[in-house]
Every structure is written in C-alpha cells, then in structure tokens.
C-alpha cells in the first residue's frame, strides 16, 4: 500500500532552496536527473488541525532542542522570522528559505509518532 510521502515546496528560487537543504541542513539526496535533487526527509508525522478558514498545509521541521538548533542554524546564516512561540504542546520558531518561503521549526512537548 502506501510506502512514503513526497512533499513538494514551490519556490521562487528552487535551486537556492535545494542548496540550502543540501549544504545547510545536510540532508541526504539523490539526483533525479539534470541536477533535480530529491531529499530524504527525517522521520515524519502528520496531524490534522481544525480551521474555520480555507484548508491549507504547513511544513514544520522538528528538533529536540529549539534554542540549540536556532543557534546552530543562525551560525550558518539562516534568517529567523519573529519570536519563539511558547505553547503547552511545544515551542515553535520559523526561518526563511533562500527562495522566500518560510518553514516552521518545532520542539514538541508531547509524544511524537516516530519516537
């Protein structure tokens, strides 16, 4: 049956965003042809949240220690947007991709599906 998920991120500068995942985050990848990199993502979980507005999707990368991860990425020149948000379910920050997109960075305070 289903053996994985494929996430697509639309970008104004896909080449720069691919280089970011490869060089800054250090993600393993394969070349699907002509330099089109496909990345191996870390273990993933899916959650559904209610909304009153239009349905949407969001990408959040998970970490064990948000402060440590922010410091490490900031040291590599990653631009963070806004302040760290504290919630009973976790801590969340966001950073900017070179192509203009924003990705959440999340330290959960609840059991995770892959732990």
- Which pTM was predicted? 0.88
Give the residue extent of every domain in the chain. Answer: 14-45+56-108
Query: Token pair for residue 39?
Result: 């990345």
pLDDT tens by residue, the chain, 115 residues? 888 889 999 999 999 999 999 999 999 999 999 989 999 999 999 999 999 999 998 999 999 999 999 999 999 999 999 999 999 989 999 999 999 999 999 999 998 998 6
Report the run of H or E that residue 86 belongs to, with start and end: strand 80-87
Closest CA to 73 of 65, 108, 14: 65
* Residues counted in the chain: 115
- Residue 61's pLDDT is 96
Give the C-alpha separation, 77 to 61, whole Å: 18
Percentage above 70 pLDDT, the chain: 99
CATH for 14-45+56-108 is 3.10.180.10
């Amino acid at each position: 049956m289903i053996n994985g998920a494929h996430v697509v991120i639309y970008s104004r500068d896909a080449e720069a965003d691919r280089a970011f995942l490869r060089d800054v985050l250090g993600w393993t990848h394969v070349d699907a042809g002509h330099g089109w990199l496909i990345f191996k993502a870390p273990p993933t979980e899916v959650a559904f949240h209610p909304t009153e507005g239009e349905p949407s999707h969001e990408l959040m990368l998970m970490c064990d220690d948000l402060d440590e991860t922010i410091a490490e990425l900031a040291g590599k020149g990653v631009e963070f947007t806004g302040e760290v948000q504290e919630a009973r379910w976790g801590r969340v920050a966001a950073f900017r991709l070179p192509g203009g997109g924003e990705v959440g960075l999340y330290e959960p305070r609840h059991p995770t599906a892959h732990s």
